[in-house]
């Protein structure tokens, strides 16, 4: 229960974070950038980024380590 509450609060905080107007890129610009975020339960935080203005694509997964195509079973 405590973990669920922490995840819900974390999701709410991420979803509520405004993007500073100076950091937004002009929509007519063809330049894109990549950002990598870490989260304990990445499926829970991905929807917040899906809804963020200017985000083109999101993908949940594992990074780092030596396994080329890690799965939950391998990393858990």
List active site positions. Answer: 41
Which one-letter DSSP state was computed for residue 23?
G
Q: Are 49 and 12 in contact (CB under 8 A)?
A: no
């Amino acid at each position: 229960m405590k973990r669920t509450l922490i995840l819900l609060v974390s999701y709410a905080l991420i979803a509520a974070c405004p993007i500073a107007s100076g950091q937004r890129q002009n929509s007519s610009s063809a330049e894109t950038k990549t950002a990598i975020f870490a989260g304990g339960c990445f499926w829970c935080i991905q929807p917040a980024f899906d809804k963020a203005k200017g985000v083109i694509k999101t993908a949940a997964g594992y990074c780092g380590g030596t396994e080329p195509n890690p799965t939950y079973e391998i990393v858990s």
